[in-house]
C-alpha cells in the first residue's frame, strides 16, 4: 500500500487537536473521487456504489466524514457517541507496537512492546475511552455528516450506552436514549458499539448475551425500521457465538466484527506505554489482527447458513490492501471496513474500487 507518513488522524496530536484541526495528510487536500453512474449495491435498504468504508474510531466529526466521502469511502462511520459528554483518555492515545506475524490470543496474553515509529505493516494500540461531546454539539454535526453523503454513499452512526452506576434498567434506558438522539439526526443506518469497555463491567458488553438481547429489543422498539448493526469483539467460543447470533439475528439487521484484540503494552524499558490508571491493557489493531476478523466472518457466515437467517456481516480488522478486502468478501462479508489501514492510506478505497 502507498504508506503515508501523515495519517488523516495524527497520533502525534491530541484528540482535541485532531478534532479541531484535522483531518490531516491526504484527507486534507482537495482531490476527490466522486462516484459515477447509478449505484448498484444494496446494503440495508440503501443503494451504494461500493461496499467498503471506515468503522467507528478514526472519524470523530463531520469534517473527517466529509473527507472520507471525498476519498471514495462509501460507508464511513461517525465515531461512537454517548448521551452525555465524556472525556478522552490522556494523551497519547495511539502508539505503534511490535508484533511478529499474527497477534494470536496467546501472544496477546504475553504483552507487547512499543515501537519507535509507525512503519508498515502497521500495528498500533489505541486507548481513547470512547470520548463524546454533549448531544447538543454532536447532533447537529452528525446531521451535517449524514447530509454530506454523495451519490452511492451513506454514513453509519455509531453509539453506545454508559453505565453510570444507577442499575441495569438505567443502563438499558441510556442506550435507548442514545438511539433516539442518533435517529433524530437522520442517520439511515445505526451501529450499537458493544465492543469497547463499558464502565462498571469486567467484560465486554457483547459477551453478555442476555443483556444485549434486552438492550437491542428496547432500541428496536425505539427506532422502528431503521437498520441496526451490532459491533462485536472476537468470540473465542463457537457455542457463545452461535447463541449470540441465534438470539440477536431476529432483532437486529446485522453484525460487525471485530474491533481490537486486548493486550498489555509497555515501553522497551518496561514502563506502562499509556499513562493513567487501567490503561496498561489496550486494544491492538492493524495488520496483525486480520486473522481474527477474517475468522469471525467465516464462522458467522457458517452460522448464518446453519440458522438460515438473512443478517448482514460487516468484516473489520487488519484490512490494509485490496487483497485483504477480497478475502473478507470471499469469507462472506457483505461490507468491509478499514480503520488503521485507511488512516495511513487515503487511496485505499480508490484502490479497492479498481480491483
User: How many other C-beta atoms lie within 10 A of the C-beta of residue 209?
Assistant: 17
Q: What is the Cβ-side half-sphere exposure of residue 167, based on CA atoms within 13 angstroms?
A: 2
112, three cell numbers: 507487547
**What's the number of CA atoms in the CB half-sphere (13 Å) around residue 154?**
21
Q: Which three cell numbers stand for residue 318?
A: 487488519
Q: Which residues contact 267 (CB under 8 A, 6 or more apart)?
A: 113, 114, 273
By the 8 A CB rule, do 194 and 160 touch?
A: yes
- CB burial class (10 A; 0-12, 13-18, 19+) of residue 165? exposed
How deeply is 325 buried, as exposed, middle or buried, from its count of CB atoms within 10 A (0-12, 13-18, 19+)? buried
Phi, psi of 346 (to 5 degrees): -65, -10
Residues contacting residue 114 through CB under 8 Å, at least 6 positions apart: 95, 96, 97, 98, 265, 266, 267, 268, 273
Q: In degrees, to the nearest 5, what angle opens at C-alpha 108 toward C-alphas 103 and 109?
A: 155
Q: Of the listed 88, 196, 206, 285, which one is catalytic?
A: 196
Query: For the chain, first and last CA: distance in Å?
Result: 14
The question of whether 206 is a catalytic residue gets the answer no
CA distance 21 to 63: 10
In a 10 Å sphere around its CB, with 0-12 CB exposed, 13-18 middle and 19+ buried, how is residue 169 labelled?
exposed
Residues that are catalytic: 196
Amino acid at each position: 500500500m502507498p504508506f503515508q507518513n501523515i495519517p488523516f488522524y495524527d497520533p502525534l496530536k491530541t484528540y482535541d487537536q485532531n478534532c479541531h484541526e484535522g483531518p490531516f495528510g491526504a484527507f486534507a487536500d482537495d482531490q476527490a473521487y466522486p462516484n459515477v453512474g447509478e449505484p448498484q449495491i444494496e446494503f440495508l435498504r440503501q443503494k451504494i456504489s461500493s461496499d467498503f468504508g471506515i468503522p467507528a474510531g478514526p472519524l470523530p466529526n463531520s469534517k473527517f466524514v466529509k473527507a472520507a466521502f471525498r476519498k471514495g469511502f462509501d460507508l464511513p462511520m461517525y465515531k461512537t457517541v454517548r448521551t452525555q459528554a465524556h472525556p478522552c483518555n490522556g494523551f497519547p492515545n495511539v502508539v505503534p507496537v511490535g508484533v511478529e506475524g499474527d497477534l494470536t490470543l496467546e501472544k496477546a496474553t504475553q504483552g507487547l512492546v512499543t515501537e519507535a515509529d509507525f512503519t508498515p505493516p502497521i500495528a498500533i494500540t489505541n486507548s481513547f475511552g470512547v470520548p463524546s461531546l454533549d448531544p447538543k454539539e454532536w447532533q447537529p454535526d452528525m446531521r451535517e455528516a449524514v447530509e454530506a453523503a454523495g451519490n452511492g454513499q451513506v454514513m453509519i452512526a455509531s453509539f453506545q450506552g454508559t453505565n453510570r452506576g444507577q442499575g441495569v434498567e438505567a443502563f438499558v434506558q441510556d442506550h435507548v436514549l442514545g438511539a433516539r438522539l442518533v435517529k433524530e439526526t437522520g442517520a439511515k443506518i445505526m451501529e450499537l458499539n458493544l465492543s469497547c469497555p463499558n464502565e462498571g463491567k469486567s467484560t465486554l458488553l457483547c459477551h453478555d448475551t442476555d443483556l444485549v438481547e434486552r438492550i437491542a429489543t428496547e432500541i428496536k422498539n425505539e427506532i422502528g425500521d431503521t437498520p441496526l448493526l451490532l459491533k462485536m469483539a472476537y468470540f473465542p467460543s463457537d457455542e457463545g457465538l452461535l447463541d449470540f447470533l441465534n438470539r440477536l439475528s431476529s432483532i437486529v439487521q446485522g453484525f460487525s466484527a471485530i474491533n481490537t484484540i486486548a493486550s498489555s503494552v509497555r515501553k522497551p524499558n518496561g514502563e506502562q506505554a499509556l499513562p493513567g490508571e487501567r490503561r496498561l491493557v489496550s486494544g491492538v489493531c492493524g495488520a496483525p489482527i486480520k486473522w481474527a476478523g477474517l475468522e469471525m466472518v467465516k464462522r458467522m457466515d457458517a452460522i448464518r447458513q446453519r440458522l438460515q437467517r438473512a443478517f448482514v456481516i460487516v468484516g473489520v480488522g487488519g484490512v490494509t490492501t485490496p487483497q485483504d478486502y477480497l478475502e473478507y468478501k470471499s469469507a462472506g462479508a457483505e461490507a468491509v471496513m478499514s480503520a488503521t489501514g485507511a488512516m495511513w492510506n487515503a487511496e485505499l478505497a480508490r484502490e479497492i474500487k479498481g480491483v
